[in-house]
């Protein structure tokens, strides 16, 4: 029964592409509260997610306590960066630009309609899915905006999509495929390299090649890393690809930020390494530091507040640290996303070869999640 259903999905998926009925492109991310009043709901959803932060059998109860306790502080942080998270603005911009370019460069799959779906903030996956059904979308790409896959982030968003699809689309009117990782995408790595060069130009020419590049990514609980999560390796792949484009012009390290709670997290910590290089190491060895948010595709609270405000306030010599500009609306980055989606559609891909293993290692007996990607995306060609 399941196999026949998958076969029907695959046939319909193939036919929609050939008939050119159009494609919905859903940009998926964790999101952030666009306004201050949304902060508590955002935090509660985030800490309720056992895929991201495993808290055990009392997850929801603990999440309420943590969210209530942290809301005032996080609200003040969002006030300091303009009154809300910029993620939605940039996600909608990126999705719109990608689809506009796809209509020109891939007319055989046009029209391409942009959507944004967040895991913890508006627009939530369920609301976006309902809008896609209302718009008559029958073929869609779940486009993870986490360039490097982690079961705790990318996987959580896909689990959410799976649950929502069962609730609001039991007849599977929308046929899905997924772009689940793209750590070495040329547009991504070229844009990073260009932004790093611009940041390095802020330092004197005679010491520029000694400036340390710190590639900073959101950390993970070691509990997740030790399951075999692919995220650390894929972030490292992005870093190495960027450094290749820079011809390894500078010393560099990969560091990790945004740890929460007492459990062990992946290190070394961004703040600790930055403070050592800026405040303790002699200028002849490290005349400056450039921090590159390597796992984020736009500005958000971790760049605008955690790095730009909190970290700088902790430094004795903050003028020696520069945070590399985020990707945001960079046209080189946008072009990289266009090529990624265009190739995905042209090859009729369902999901990457790595995704089944991600779920074997990452799900850890979780309930109400798919056990194999074919349950949501059909059989891989």
Given a contact cutoff of 8 angstroms between Cβ atoms, the answer to whether 7 and 49 are in contact is: no
In this structure, the answer to whether residues 248 and 297 fall within a common structural domain is yes
In this structure, the answer to whether residues 133 and 76 fall within a common structural domain is yes
In this structure, the answer to whether residues 346 and 312 fall within a common structural domain is no
Nearest to 3 by CA among 348, 345, 372: 372
Q: What is the pLDDT of residue 365?
A: 61
Exactly one of 26, 30, 102, 214 is catalytic; name it.
Answer: 30
In this structure, the answer to whether residues 195 and 310 fall within a common structural domain is yes
Q: Is 361 helix (H, G, I), strand (E, B) or coil?
A: helix
Q: Is 313 a catalytic residue?
A: no
Q: Is 337 a catalytic residue?
A: no
Q: What is the pLDDT of residue 18?
A: 42
In tens, the pLDDT along 149-173 reads 999 999 999 999 999 999 999 999 9
- CA end-to-end distance (rounded Å), the chain: 20
Q: Is 299 a catalytic residue?
A: yes
Given a contact cutoff of 8 angstroms between Cβ atoms, the answer to whether 51 and 366 are in contact is: yes
Exactly one of 45, 119, 344, 350 is catalytic; name it.
Answer: 119
Q: What is the CATH number of the domain that holds 197?
A: 3.40.50.1400
Nearest to 67 by CA among 27, 94, 40: 40
Exactly one of 49, 180, 299, 308 is catalytic; name it.
Answer: 299
Q: Distances from the Cα of 167 to the Cαs of 125, 171, 379, in angstroms?
A: 12, 10, 21
In tens, the pLDDT along 256-285 reads 999 887 889 999 999 999 999 999 999 889
Q: What is the pLDDT of residue 175?
A: 96
Q: Is 244 a catalytic residue?
A: no
Q: Is 124 a catalytic residue?
A: no
Exactly one of 218, 304, 305, 350 is catalytic; name it.
Answer: 218
Domain membership of residue 303 as a residue range: 186-323
**What 3 state SS string does 19-67 have?**
HCCCEEEEEEECCCCCCHHHHHHHHHHHHHCCCCCCCCCCHHHHHHHHH
Angle at 216 between CA 215 and CA 220, to 5 degrees: 130
Given a contact cutoff of 8 angstroms between Cβ atoms, the answer to whether 182 and 332 are in contact is: no
Q: Is 41 a catalytic residue?
A: no
In this structure, the answer to whether residues 337 and 265 fall within a common structural domain is no
List the beta bridge partners of residue 255. Answer: 216
H or E stretch at 238: helix 231-245
Reading the block at residue 163, the tokens are: 């649950």
In this structure, the answer to whether residues 94 and 161 fall within a common structural domain is yes
| Torsion-angle region of 367 (φ positive above 0: left; ψ -120 to 50: alpha; else: beta) | beta
Exactly one of 38, 302, 325, 339 is catalytic; name it.
Answer: 302
Q: Is 55 a catalytic residue?
A: no
In this structure, the answer to whether residues 13 and 149 fall within a common structural domain is yes
In this structure, the answer to whether residues 190 and 88 fall within a common structural domain is no
From CA 153, how far away is CA 160, in angstroms rounded? 11
In this structure, the answer to whether residues 205 and 170 fall within a common structural domain is no
Q: Provide CB contacts within 8 A for 105, sequence distance 6+.
A: 338, 342
Q: Is 136 helix (H, G, I), strand (E, B) or coil?
A: coil
In this structure, the answer to whether residues 245 and 341 fall within a common structural domain is no
Nearest to 137 by CA among 6, 7, 21: 21
Exactly one of 234, 306, 308, 325 is catalytic; name it.
Answer: 306
Exactly one of 52, 124, 200, 213 is catalytic; name it.
Answer: 52
Q: Is 75 a catalytic residue?
A: no
Q: Is 46 a catalytic residue?
A: yes
| pTM > 0.75 | yes
In tens, the pLDDT along 52-103 reads 888 888 999 999 999 999 999 999 999 999 999 999 999 999 999 999 999 9
Exactly one of 46, 200, 213, 277 is catalytic; name it.
Answer: 46
| Total number of domains constituting the chain | 2
Exactly one of 40, 44, 78, 120 is catalytic; name it.
Answer: 120
| Alpha-carbon torsion, ordered 100, 104, 110, 112, to 10 deg | -10
**What 3 state SS string does 81-124 have?**
CCCCCCHHHHHHHHHHHHHHHHHHHCHHHCCEEEEEEECCCCCE
In this structure, the answer to whether residues 190 and 178 fall within a common structural domain is no
In this structure, the answer to whether residues 362 and 259 fall within a common structural domain is no
| Torsion-angle region of 20 (φ positive above 0: left; ψ -120 to 50: alpha; else: beta) | left
pLDDT tens per residue across all 381 residues of the chain: 444 444 444 434 443 444 447 899 999 999 999 999 999 999 999 999 988 888 888 999 999 999 999 999 999 999 999 999 999 999 999 999 999 999 999 999 999 999 999 999 999 999 999 999 999 999 999 999 999 999 999 999 999 999 999 999 999 999 999 999 999 999 999 999 999 999 999 999 999 999 999 999 999 999 999 999 999 999 999 999 999 999 999 999 999 999 887 889 999 999 999 999 999 999 889 999 999 999 999 999 999 999 999 999 999 999 999 999 999 999 999 999 999 999 999 998 899 999 999 999 988 666 678 888 998 998 755
Q: What is the pLDDT of residue 380?
A: 57
Q: Report the Cα 205 to chain-centroid distance in Å.
A: 34
């Amino acid at each position: 029964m399941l196999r026949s259903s998958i076969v029907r999905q695959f046939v319909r998926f193939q036919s929609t592409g050939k008939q050119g009925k159009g494609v919905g492109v859903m940009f998926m991310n964790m999101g952030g509260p666009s306004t201050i009043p949304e902060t508590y709901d955002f935090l509660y959803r985030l800490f309720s997610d056992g895929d991201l932060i495993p808290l055990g059998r009392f997850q929801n109860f603990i999440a309420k306590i943590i969210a209530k306790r942290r809301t005032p502080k996080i609200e003040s942080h969002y006030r300091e960066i303009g009154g809300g998270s910029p993620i939605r603005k940039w996600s909608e911009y990126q999705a719109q630009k990608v689809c506009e370019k796809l209509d020109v460069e891939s007319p055989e799959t046009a029209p391409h309609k942009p959507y944004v779906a967040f895991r913890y903030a508006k627009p939530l996956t369920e609301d976006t899915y309902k809008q896609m059904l209302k718009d008559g979308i029958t073929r869609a790409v779940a486009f993870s905006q986490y360039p490097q896959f982690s079961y705790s982030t990318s996987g959580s968003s896909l689990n959410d999509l799976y649950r929502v699809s069962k609730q609001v689309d039991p007849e599977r009117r929308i046929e899905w495929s997924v772009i689940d990782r793209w750590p070495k995408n040329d547009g991504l790595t070229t844009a990073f390299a260009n932004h790093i060069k611009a940041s390095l130009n802020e330092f004197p020419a005679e010491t520029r090649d000694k400036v340390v590049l710190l590639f900073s990514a959101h950390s993970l609980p070691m509990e997740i890393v030790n399951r075999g999560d692919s995220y650390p390796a894929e972030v490292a792949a992005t870093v190495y690809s960027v450094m290749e484009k820079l011809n390894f012009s500078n010393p560099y390290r990969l560091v990790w930020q945004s740890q929460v709670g007492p459990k062990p997290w992946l290190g070394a910590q961004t703040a600790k390494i930055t403070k050592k290089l800026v405040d303790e190491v002699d200028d002849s060895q490290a005349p400056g530091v450039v921090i590159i948010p390597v796992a984020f595709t736009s500005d958000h609270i971790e760049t605008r507040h955690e790095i730009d405000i909190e970290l700088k306030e902790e430094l004795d010599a903050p003028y020696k640290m520069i945070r590399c500009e985020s990707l945001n609306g960079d046209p080189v980055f946008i072009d990289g996303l266009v090529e990624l989606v265009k190739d995905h559609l042209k090859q009729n891909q369902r999901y990457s070869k790595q995704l089944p293993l991600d779920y074997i290692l990452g799900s850890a007996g979780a309930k109400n999640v798919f056990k194999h990607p074919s349950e949501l995306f059909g059989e891989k060609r």
